[in-house]
Amino acid sequence: MAKNMLDGAQVIVDYLIRQKVPYAFGLCGHGNIQFIDALYERAEDIKTISVHHETVAGFMADVYYRVSGQPTATFTSCGPGSANLPIALGNSFLDSVPFLAVTGNIPTSQFNRGAFQELYRHYQADFPSTVRAYCKRVFQPTRGEMVPLAMRQAWKTMVTGRPGPVVLDVPFDVFREAAAEETPKPEEWSANISCRCGADPEGVKQAVDMVLSAERPVILIGQGVKYGGAATDLKTLAEKLDIPVAWSASGAGGIDSSHRLALGLVARNGPYQANHAARQADVLLALGVRFDDRTSSSWLPGYSFTIPPTKLIHVDIDPDEIGRNYPVALGLMADVRTFLRQVLGELDARKDVRDKAAARAKWLDAIAGYRTEWESFIAPGFVDDGSPINPQRAAREIDAAMPADGILVSDIGVHHNWLIAFCKAKRPDSLIGSMGFGPMGFGVAGALGAKLAAPDRPCVSVCGDGAFFMHASVLGTAVEYAIPVVWVVWNNYAYASIRGLQRGYLNGRELATDFKHPGTGAPYNPDFAAMARSAGIDGVRIDRAADLGEAVRAGIATGRPYLIDAQISADRNPGGAGVWELPGLGQSQPAIGGRFQPSRG
Ligand SMILES: Cc1ncc(C[n+]2csc(CCOP(=O)(O)OP(=O)(O)O)c2C)c(N)n1
Ligand SMILES: [Mg+2]
């Protein structure tokens, strides 16, 4: 067909290229073959990665951004193809990660006729209702000429303010309808928009006053620090004032874990020094955190936080997160990096900054004592040589085998709880996990996105046996596109995190949480190493802790995809100084320390 104008699909692809999108991840269907055809035309400028499950495409796009800061796109067909995507959208939405999902829909001429794969019983071509709760915004152009506007608005919505995934839902005919002589120019519509807004200048002064007069200050960092590119300014501030820094799981790596001021994870399974300092703080400076239940010991006072009497300064780009779960002494809507720079500027104008830093010595001494208690509490787990492998030791062996620039992408499950407690993240992207939606498969597939984003850095996925089996199709994708990631399958023959809940809360009434052979009742799983080999990938099975680190190093060294089936015990859960409550079932007990009771007055 001769074309003298760009059609809808061409405009979308052209705009992606103008936005320097290097990859489109997706899966075909009749609803998107015309979009794929537009990708075909521009194959030199944008690479197409075809996966074996749409969710995988979304997870790859998600982690690609977490590593590179560059949003990418997915493409899925109408009906079931796109209905496989909401899990990935929800994951990115709750963790504030942008990607553009181009979903196909049925032809506009067939709206409301119940054509093949149309969701029509409530409203015509109703994919937007399916994903409404799962993404930042849905655009559905219904004529070719509407595509340029929808495309540039979709991109802008995705990347501005609090970022998040956006869906561009395109009916079949609209892909091929004439859309525009020219694609919109990013430099006119989104490239020159800054959302690095600062805080109210009066609020900055107030924050500085509060922090300088605090006796037991703690900084708590979340994802806003990592993705906001604020790690360097955070370190400068912490060092300048000698304030210890704790993190939510999403903030891990926002400061090097081995920094003298790094406290660790605040959570049920967080170390004593992090929880005990955070819950005793007189001023808590929270930067880009949400205070979800897992960070906050289910908001039960005295375990992770005691707000009030702790005075909370909460800084976030999204005012919806401020005052959601805790009362604020000072709430400031701002980009975290800009806020930190404002604070550093304000400190330059103050005279008494060094004296105040000296006054922190007593607080830091007390924290050093908590740290020593914690370290002797956890020491036995690191020398356990038992088989299957002690999970605490497994987390430490894997972490120690990661090179300084390595990227570990975790899946969801008990292994994630061990990893966030015991990995020592060095950089903002050393340890990547999903904290909001928590879909199984995130780490299985996400590691592929990490490797494409950082081809020179070793990328390791640590994933549960349950999740790996759910998304084992990634083996094929790694081979087809020569993506050398290492999977460490944390094999405990169970949906162990959930079985742990049955054991902890339901008197061990276990059902539907472990994998057993019907004949013998013995633990059952496929032979994952053999599965990998069947896909053309080297695979090994490891059942001794002492061999695990070496296996990870060897896997990385091959420079090819690699799988390690690690036999790991599920008999214990990572304990820490916090708790977690399942309303109606009760709450866990801290493994160390108790509930902090602030003294009155
Ligand atoms: C798609 C999806 N289904 C179900 C769950 C609920 N869930 C959370 S963790 C978990 C168990 C995961 O098992 P596995 O992957 O083996 O990890 P383990 O807990 O054993 O480390 C389940 C079923 C989920 N988070 N995501
Ligand atoms: Mg498991």
Model confidence pLDDT, tens digit, residues 441-454: 999 999 999 999 99
Structure tokens at 514: 């472990």
Of ligand 1's listed atoms, the one at least distance from the Cα of 495 is 13
Residues 356-373: pLDDT tens digits?
777 789 999 999 999 999
Q: How confident is the model at residue 153 (pLDDT cuts 50, 70, 90)?
A: very high
Per-residue pLDDT for 297 more than 90? yes
Per-residue pLDDT for 2 more than 70? no
From 495, 514, 582, the mutation candidate for ligand 1 (largest count of ligand atoms within 8 A of CB) is 495
Work out the average pLDDT over 424-451.
Answer: 98
Closest CA to 24 of 2, 46, 55: 46
Residues 488-532: pLDDT tens digits?
999 999 999 999 999 999 998 999 999 999 999 999 999 999 999
Q: Whose CA is nearest to atom 9 of ligand 1?
A: 413
How far does residue 594's CA lie from ligand 2's centre (Å)?
30
Of ligand 1's listed atoms, the one at least distance from the Cα of 438 is 25
pTM: 0.98
What's the confidence (pLDDT) of residue 572?
Answer: 85
Give the C-alpha separation, 162 to 194, whole Å: 12
Of ligand 1's listed atoms, the one at least distance from the Cα of 497 is 19
Pocket of ligand 1 (CB under 6 A): 412-415, 438-440, 464-467, 490, 492, 494-498
What's the confidence (pLDDT) of residue 354?
Answer: 79
283-287 vs 311-316, strand pairing mode: parallel
Any idea which residue has 């492998």 for tokens? 389
Q: How confident is the model at residue 300 (pLDDT cuts 50, 70, 90)?
A: very high
Work out the average pLDDT over 175-200.
Answer: 96
Work out the average pLDDT over 565-573.
Answer: 94
Work out the average pLDDT over 186-192.
Answer: 95
What's the confidence (pLDDT) of residue 3?
Answer: 58
Any idea which residue has 């749409």 for tokens? 54
What's the confidence (pLDDT) of residue 220?
Answer: 98
Per-residue pLDDT for 98 more than 70? yes
From 392, 440, 502, the mutation candidate for ligand 1 (largest count of ligand atoms within 8 A of CB) is 440
What's the confidence (pLDDT) of residue 357?
Answer: 75
What's the confidence (pLDDT) of residue 1?
Answer: 47
Q: What percent of the chain stands above pLDDT 90?
A: 97
Supply the DSSP string of 108-169, one letter for each residue: GGGTTTT-TT---SSSTT-HHHHHGGGSSEEE---SGGGHHHHHHHHHHHHHSSS---EEEE
Residues 585-598: pLDDT tens digits?
999 999 999 999 99
Question: Which bound ligand lies closest to the C-alpha atom of 410?
Answer: 1
pLDDT, averaged across the chain? 97
Give the C-alpha separation, 586 to 588, whole Å: 7
Closest CA to 568 of 554, 551, 585: 551
Per-residue pLDDT for 391 more than 50? yes
Of ligand 1's listed atoms, the one at least distance from the Cα of 441 is 1
Per-residue pLDDT for 255 more than 90? yes
Per-residue pLDDT for 279 more than 80? yes
Contact 353, 347 (CB under 8 A): yes
Residues 6+ apart with CB under 8 A from 266: 220, 246, 247, 248, 274, 275, 278, 295, 296, 304, 305, 578
Q: Whose CA is nearest to atom 13 of ligand 1?
A: 495
Closest CA to 344 of 193, 198, 194, 196: 198
Query: Which is more confidently placed, 1 or 384?
Result: 384
Work out the average pLDDT over 211-223.
Answer: 96
Q: Whose CA is nearest to atom 20 of ligand 1?
A: 496
Of ligand 1's listed atoms, the one at least distance from the Cα of 416 is 21
How far does residue 71's CA lie from ligand 2's centre (Å)?
31
Residues 6+ apart with CB under 8 A from 435: 94, 95, 223, 248, 249, 250, 292, 294
Q: Whose CA is nearest to atom 23 of ligand 1?
A: 495
Q: Whose CA is nearest to atom 25 of ligand 1?
A: 439
Work out the average pLDDT over 393-411.
Answer: 98
Work out the average pLDDT over 248-267.
Answer: 98
